[in-house]
Structure 1
Amino acid sequence: MYSSEQILYHYTKDVRILQRSVRARKGNLCLDYVRAPPSAKIVECRQLLQTVLREIRDRFPDGIDAILLSGGLDTSILCEASDQDFAVVKDDTFMTILLDKKGKARPILRFRHALTVQADPTAQDAIFAANIFNRLENVSLEQHHVLRVTLDALLKNSSEVARLLCTCDPMELRNSLVIYEALRAAANRGVKHLVTGDAADEVFCGYSFYHGMTEEALSKYRERITATMEFTTAKLAKELGIEVISPYLDARIVEFSKNLCKSDMIGERTPVPRDGEQGVHGKLILRQAFPESFSQWRAKEPIEAGSGTTRLRLGYFDSHWTEEEFAEQQRFVFREHGVYIRDREHLYFFQAFLRAFNGGLTNVPRRRFNESTQVVEPHGQEETMDSPNVFCPGCGFELSHPKQDFCVTCGCWPTCISPTNDTQGYATQALAKLKSEKERLLQH
């Protein structure tokens, strides 16, 4: 398979572009802009994130304790972003970035530890992270720890993580168990502050479901998600005495992203597009702004895929309960606790959640609407002016925000019908099905 550089060279007929490509290759420069210079928005994006990273560097002049290194685009940029501006090459007009990590491409931030979790030997995070470490070893990264663990070992922390996050949402726990493992390892190494790539996907449209949205729908959804987004790393880290630094959550970056349109954030790989599943990328402007990052064009993978915990939702718990046993447990949990259990994985994490709160949901510090009595139970949390007063139809617990269409307690989606989640009637159908299922479970 030809590399992007080979394709760019062999299929270019413009002699000037060919000459630039040769010069860039010889000078260890990126080839991203041998055809055309970066847009003003790309330049602004680079300068803004560089400013944020410099401020972090100045706050920690001796280096930062650690980074949670997934090896994805977001953490690759945080590890590798350099101080360089897009420079005009002498005797020509094309702009470029040097790639020599010991020269002008030396990263802004320095780290003592980088931590990557691998729960499956085929999971890709560890591979990408190792490549990044190889580029930065003895430059800006001192040690890379690949934490190879089994799924059973991760699951031993289920109740603790469920308690800390107040959740039994399988998707959340599938990802957060990985984060907690990395944070525990960091704490054991004396880490007091670490960097994460949280919020880049939300702020710069990293998720694939953004791709099919219209400009208007995308704008509305982003407004909703930036108002309600929460990240578990800080909650888990606080318990371990670790400060979390999330550059993409900087208010200036969030505000900058609000002025971007869909084509700025979602589009084809540049300067050489690719067909197939990897043809379209989210976070496009970040990829274009930091060509020195190893994972510049790595496809988006959620934590569960990159670390290997995806297997938890692919039949891992099938042997725990037969069909009859699961049906019995599903009915029991709904009648006894008023929570709708969707599948075996959800049942496993609900049981861990229940243990975390001493076997009773009244111990969960979150207001809850009791469907039987039609009363809101305070659970030690008094109503305030900021209380959302909106409750999940799947578990009854209060949502974290009035606009939240996803329950952070049980993982139910949708919790309501909104202009962005019901464009094709999915939310209406899902809520109707949930109502029918709850009625079924109450029947004798």
Structure 2
Amino acid sequence: MQVLIDEIRNKLKCAVDESRAEGLLLSGGLDSSILASLAPDVSGFTVTLEPYGEDGEYAKILTRILQVKYYHRMIGIDEAFHSIPTVIGILKSFDPAIPNDIAAYFGLKLAKEKGAKNVMTGDGSDELFAGYSFMFDLPNLESYIRGLKGKMRFSSNILGQKLGVEIRQPYLSHEMIELALKIPKHLKIRAEEGKTWGKWILRKAFEGVLPPKIIWQDKRPLEYGSGTRRLRRIISEKISDEEFEEKRRAYPVRFMSKEHLFYFQIYRKVVGEIPAPKAGQAACGGCGAGIEKEANHCRICGGIQNE
């Protein structure tokens, strides 16, 4: 196993070096912390919704250890709330994951304000190394991950393009993708001290480089770590049960929640109508938007296909 660990370290280090990134979206989670350890001269950028995000705590622990230059900005509830139409307009999506995208949006804005022309992200690590809990029970994990190759799309690319910040994604280098596809399931998902972990081999590869508090932390979606998840309750309180039921009947969209409806109504104002399928595309089962026939996720409404 040591040979594999050395290979992971070496190939990821090469990918980081080749990215020549000036900045890093730093959540203090496993993926961005590993990148920080491999690029000590990079500037880290963290955004949290005051005073709720855990990312700031983890990022501070990491930057003290690694001596990385670090910028942390706390955003207010009102500022985050008023950014929703902007983010939806940029992404042309009313996916319920918008709170994740709000955190990335402000992180990239902070990086640009501090002069970073390009920024690394941890995109791709969870997909390639089985970081999501739903992957633990997939019977054909290797086939599932192989099927993601060439189909992974990340909002950071779209947000970065709009803001004029180039996104660098070391985990998605050709060498890292090919390496990840060779690693068997039992080395990605494995028990450690009685608990099942995703990205097990990635964690083991950087033991001794990063502290245990960073290595063996649970997966924190960006909206949880940044605190933007708090927006969900605020938004839900703006729509009554009666209005939700009325709008569910009025629109040909399968709304997952009141929040989803809220985003859709903003989408209609700032983007317009949902795009119909083009030749060769299928219709999303959740909103009717055109999606690639083999896609399992709609980028317009966030719906999972064939559920």
Q: What TM-score do the two structures reach when normalised by structure 1?
A: 0.65
Amino-acid identity (%): 31
User: Of 272, 280, 302, which residue of structure 2 is paired with 1:411?
Assistant: 302
CA RMSD of aligned residues (A): 1.9
Distance in 1, matches of 2:180 and 2:240, equals 48
Residue number in structure 2 paired with 1:33: none
Cα displacement string for residues 334-360 of structure 1 (whole angstroms, at most 9, x for unaligned residues): 1xxx32333210111111211212xx3
**Where does residue 13 of structure 2 map in the other structure?**
50
Q: CA deviation at 1:170?
A: 1.0
Aligned equivalent of 1:70: 27
Q: State the Cα distance separating 1:43 from its structure 2 match.
A: 2.0
Higher relative contact order (CA 8 A, sep 6+): 2
Structure showing greater Rg: 1
Whole-angstrom CA distance in 2 between matches of 1:189 and 1:54 = 21
Matched, 1:153 2:79: yes
Residue 300 of structure 2 aligns to a residue whose secondary structure is coil
Cα offset for 1:330?
2.4
Larger fraction in helix: 2
Q: 1:324 aligns with which of 242, 256, 259?
A: 242
Alignment pair present for 1:116 and 2:46: yes
- Distance in 2, matches of 1:304 and 1:325, equals 26
1:402 to 282, 293, 302: 293
Long gaps (5+) in structure 2: none
CA distance in structure 1 between the partners assigned to 2:294 and 2:78 by the alignment: 36
Residue 305 (structure 1) aligned to one of 218, 224, 228? 224
SS at match of 2:282: coil
Instruction: For 2:265 and 2:80, locate their aligned partners in 1 and report how far apart those are by CA, in whole Å.
Output: 16
1:53/1:109 contact within 8 Å kept:
no
Match for residue 198 of structure 2 among 263, 282, 286: 282
Give the corresponding residue for 2:135. 210
Q: 1:136 aligns with which of 51, 66, 84?
A: 66
CA distance in 1, matches of 2:236, 2:258: 7
Q: Deviations over 1:179-237 (max 9, x none)?
A: 001111222222211111110000111111111223xx212221222342101111111
| Number of residue equivalences | 304
**In structure 2, distance between residues paired with 1:352 and 1:191:** 31
**Aligned ranges 1:198-347 → 2 under 5 Å:** 198-214=123-139, 217-269=140-192, 273=193, 275=194, 279-291=195-207, 292-294=209-211, 295-313=214-232, 315-332=233-250, 334=251, 338-347=252-261
In the other structure, the counterpart of 1:192 is 117
Match among 362, 369, 393 for residue 285 of structure 2: 393
Contact 2:116 2:165 in 1 (8 A): yes
Q: Give the Cα separation in 1 of the matches to 2:23 and 2:230.
A: 28
| Deviations 1:111-157, CA, capped at 9 Å, x for gaps | 1x3111111534321111001111133xxx22x22221233321212
Q: Which residue of 2 aligns with 1:12?
A: none
CA distance in 1, matches of 2:14, 2:75: 37
Deviation, 1:109, is 4.2
Distance in 2 (CA, whole Å) between partners of 1:54 and 1:240 is 24
Please report how far the alpha carbon of residue 396 of structure 1 lies from its aligned counterpart in structure 2 after TM superposition: 1.0
Displacement of 1:239 in angstroms is: 1.0
Alpha-carbon distance in 2 for matches of 1:200, 1:53: 13
**More deviation, 285-294/72-81:** 285-294
